[in-house]
Amino acid sequence: MGMAQIRFVNALRDAIGEEMRRDRHVFVMGEDVVAAAFGTTAYLVDEFGTQRVRNTPVSESGFVGAAIGAAMTGMRPIVDMMFSAFLYVAMDQFVSNAAKIHYMFDGQYKVPVTFICMYSAGSGQGSQHAECPYTKFMNVPGLKVLLPSTPYAVKGLLKSAVRDDNPVLLFYHMETARVVGDVPEEDYVIPLGRANIVRNGAHATVVATGAMVTKAVSVADSMGKEGISVEVIDPQSLVPLDEASIIGSVERTGRLVVVDEAFGRCGLASEIAAVVGEKAFDSLDAPIKRVTSLDVPVPASPPMERFVLPGEEKIAQAIREVLG
């Protein structure tokens, strides 16, 4: 299988284009998708035209509802939401319609729609943009939630999402949008619900998400020089969650640190800690540690933002604490 070095955002765009060529029912819609403000839909209008690359008004509730309706009639929309905080404006469409229609109509309707959006804590853009809303959507039965951190992952997961008959939300971090990595030249998919063991280790397990994966690996590499062996797992798919890979790792290492950029209260880190506490408690040699953002609005001031967000120093401290 041939490999190419591709930037994350280009891998996302390539996945969209390939799915549009594969299936005429796939189309793109959203604010400024023709101009491609973030690059995720760049040049697609040149090939597919404005019927399949459709700009929408600045009305998230309206165009999310339109996408749901299109999906119910057999289309497979890909909706670029731009900033993830914009999802809140259409919350009722996601929770009351996209997530429930298949159930409420006894399976007679499917809702194969994919939403992509960027979150950007760490870039000094203020609390209304520095959001990690994926935890809110994890709590809604009927929605699938993805959080890829590499070009390889985003392409394979996006393809799986578009081919899935359920509504899927794919989040990506502004930092990861610039990451370059190996991507197969051939068609491939990554099944939803499969974690990636980024780095093998024996003394502690770190489950990290999004932009935190790179920071966790950096800490693991640094600690490796001290003889401390840290395993790093990237869940990639939050709903469904690959519990087996996480539990299997904890059974080998006996210790768990969960690193997530979202807030700690009722968040992803809490969910993973609860799963391991319920299903692998006897394997734990130390209490589970969570490294998350503080439960305050994220400041725009860069020094204050760094104080609020997880970072390498906090990750390293948590690992040392579980190691005793």
Q: How far, CA to CA in Å, does 169 sit from each of 20, 203, 225, 264?
A: 18, 34, 38, 21
Q: Who contacts 210 (Cβ-Cβ below 8 Å, separation ≥6)?
A: 119, 132, 147, 149, 171, 172, 173, 176, 260, 261
**Separation between Cα atoms, residue 146 and residue 77, nearest integer Å:** 17
Q: How crowded is residue 27: how many other Cβ atoms within 10 Å of its Cβ?
A: 22
What are the backbone angles phi and psi of residue 246, rounded to the nearest 5°?
Answer: -70, -45
**Separation between Cα atoms, residue 88 and residue 169, nearest integer Å:** 13
C-beta of residue 273 within 8 angstroms of C-beta of residue 258: yes
- 49, with CB counted inside 10 A (0-12, 13-18, 19+), is exposed
C-beta of residue 250 within 8 angstroms of C-beta of residue 280: yes
Say whether 129 is catalytic: yes
Nearest-10 crossing angle of helices 151-163, 8-22: 30
**Separation between Cα atoms, residue 116 and residue 11, nearest integer Å:** 13
C-beta of residue 241 within 8 angstroms of C-beta of residue 193: yes
**Separation between Cα atoms, residue 198 and residue 196, nearest integer Å:** 6
User: Which of 72, 64, 161 shows the shortest CA–CA distance to 108?
Assistant: 72
Find the catalytic residue in 102, 129, 173, 203.
129
Catalytically active residues, by annotation: 129
